[in-house]
Structure 1
């Protein structure tokens, strides 16, 4: 477990550039249970500190799906992807990033279309601790009240400490109308049909969870994008709704010259 001082040194090194989000109120799990989850680690050269910055979902041996916001102020030369480890900062397989394609509609403020495809320099081998998730079929139906699973690493509160082991949490999907009503007075995020709002009492996202996958069955249906207060039950967490971008993801992957198949689930 990293110390609180460890975290704040890293934050001071990059001021306000570090992405948001980490799981609060979840249960510890192992990478064998969630082999598609990968950690984006980042080296801050000044203090010489490496932190787990974001989370991603392996959708092929060459492609990782995450939040476009993850790369705010980031130098890709200082970023790596760690796969196949329950611990975000040790073990597993570490690979370099070749390039990143952000959705062309991405806007940081108000946060919108917050999704990106990461291309790896070398492919990850599939094993019992490294595996892929299906994409959802385009325009899938996800009922209000549906229980959804989110997996991530990191902080349980805004003041730390940082947890390095994988955790999961179950949230419930809210209706778009209810979510729009709650966020009606904020200009920080756009609540529209391309997001999923989800919440559960005492549970949710916190600092560093950007890109954490929301899963139904064997498909990634959401990617953590925005939260307001780590323990603020008034505001649901906002996830980019992946089925609205399935075709775009497939097109981006195909245009990147990597011969690795991204699979689409037949149904949710």
Structure 2
């Protein structure tokens, strides 16, 4: 009877534990070749110690797509780029940044045009664990509201916390532009057509968190978004906001 009572107590505790505190936030560990296009933007504190800055996505043999919020106001000397690894601090290949191209109309306050490209010094050699992502085929590329999309990164999994190892990924759902605009209007923030919102509204606070900025949002292997911002990592009322890559195809191709 004592064992049975203890089991019931454990099950009851588990059933009431807040789900939004487990949470990338709310994700799981990725396999080595699951996201071969993902890159970690890191600072080299010493030859063997690295600090996470942001995420990024390989889009050519010398180009990493990321958010301007990660690179604006910094020189290329701040960044190293790690690819082909589940860990941002070890393994894979470590690259040097040669130059940074921020969108010329990036607004650091509103996060409008939050997109940047880092050009690498070295040529990125593709393999089973390293490969460029596909870009949306057209500027009008749309994702269904109930279509699963996937974010990945090394950012915090539960504030306050250390960044996780290994790479995390999480499934999200697109949120309509109207809903996203209405929710963020409550906070005095602007959502425009060049932004893409995703999450599980009013249900689960999963999604990217601090350290995931610049990282990808994938739809069937196509990088449809670049993580930009969110109001609180575990607040399910406000969606995760991404830069909509389909609206920047010309800019991206001109700067590869």
What is the TM-score of this pair, normalised by structure 2?
0.85
Which residue in 1 is equivalent to 2:220?
217
Helix, strand or coil: the match of 2:185?
coil
Which residue in 2 is equivalent to 1:227?
230
How many residues matched? 229
Which residue in 2 is equivalent to 1:252?
255
How big is each residue's C-alpha offset from its partner over 1:24-53, in whole Å with a ceiling of 9 and x where there is no partner?
A: 0101012311110110001458xx963111
Structure 2 unaligned regions, length at least 5? 1-22
Which residue in 2 is equivalent to 1:149?
150
Alignment of 1:29 with 2:21, yes or no, is: no
Shift of 1:218: 2.2
Shift of 1:157: 2.0
Highest Rg: 1 or 2? 2
Helix, strand or coil: the match of 1:245?
helix
- After TM superposition, list the pairs within 5 Å mapping 1:102-181 onto structure 2: 102-137=102-137, 138-181=139-182
Shift of 1:73: 4.7
What is the CA–CA distance in structure 2 between the aligned matches of 1:140 and 1:34, rounded to whole Å? 21
Helix, strand or coil: the match of 2:180?
helix
What is the CA–CA distance in structure 1 between the aligned matches of 2:104 and 2:74, rounded to whole Å? 18
Which residue in 2 is equivalent to 1:206?
209
What is the CA–CA distance in structure 2 between the aligned matches of 1:182 and 1:117, rounded to whole Å? 30
Change (3 A) 1:110 1:44: farther
What is the CA–CA distance in structure 2 between the aligned matches of 1:125 and 1:58, rounded to whole Å? 11
Which residue in 2 is equivalent to 1:51?
51
Change (3 A) 1:107 1:170: same
What is the CA–CA distance in structure 1 between the aligned matches of 2:205 and 2:230, rounded to whole Å? 13
How big is each residue's C-alpha offset from its partner over 1:140-191, in whole Å with a ceiling of 9 and x where there is no partner?
A: 122223211111113112210221211110100011000111001324x430
Which residue in 1 is equivalent to 2:10?
none
Helix, strand or coil: the match of 1:225?
strand
Shift of 1:209: 0.5
Helix, strand or coil: the match of 1:207?
coil
What is the CA–CA distance in structure 1 between the aligned matches of 2:230 and 2:25, rounded to whole Å? 11
Shift of 1:244: 0.3
Which residue in 2 is equivalent to 1:60?
60
